[in-house]
Homo-oligomer: A and B are copies of this chain.
Amino acid sequence: MTAEDDAFPERIRASPLWLLTYTTGHAQRLGWAAMAAHGARRYHYVLLAALEEFGPASQAALGRRVEIDRSDVVAAINELAELNYVERTLDASDRRRNTITITEDGRRQLQRLDEMLLGLHDELLAPLSTEERTELVRLLSRVLDHHRM
């Protein structure tokens, strides 16, 4: 066993796919733990954010917006409703649908998670300058937009 026993293979160090995989793995371990410390599960933040920014929506529309499978939306909304962070009401104009609405408690939870994320991003991107952080966000956004079309 040498001092370099845990150095990465060069193929991984040069591969965008694997750099994304490993970097995101570390980021998610930090992120999901911080979410859990606030009683939030993985999908809660994006669902609350979508409801706060775009207003009430059906479950199907929510799932399309934040890329969550229809059946996982059911489970997540069940949890959020149980916590009184959202309300589920029947849509009178289309009785197949539920209308999901964020509550005041939900807005407060979203704000707590926003503040948590500020600190988390600072820890996550600690080795980067302000300009580099902006550039990373810009490059990731370009790649993501391309694959969401």
Most chain-B Cβ atoms within 10 A of its Cβ — which of A65, A132, A140, A144? A144
Interface of A: prevailing SS: helix
Interface check A46, CB cutoff 8 A: yes
Interface residue count for A (Cβ, 8 Å)?
63
Interface check A20, CB cutoff 8 A: yes
Q: Is the CB of A53 within 8 A of B23?
A: no
Q: Is the CB of A143 within 8 A of B125?
A: yes
Given A54-B9, A143-B124, A143-B127, verify A22-B67 contact (CB < 8 Å): yes
Q: Is the CB of B22 within 8 A of A144?
A: yes
Q: Is the CB of A66 within 8 A of B12?
A: yes
* Binary contact readout A23-57 vs B (1 if CB under 8 angstroms, 0 otherwise): 11111101100000000000001100110111000
The distance in angstroms between the C-alpha atoms of A25 and B148, with both chains bound, is 11
Identify 13 residue pairs between A and B in the complex whose beta-carbon atoms are under 8 Å apart, listed by A's number.
A6-B148, A7-B54, A8-B66, A9-B50, A11-B53, A14-B137, A17-B120, A18-B45, A23-B143, A23-B147, A26-B148, A124-B143, A128-B139
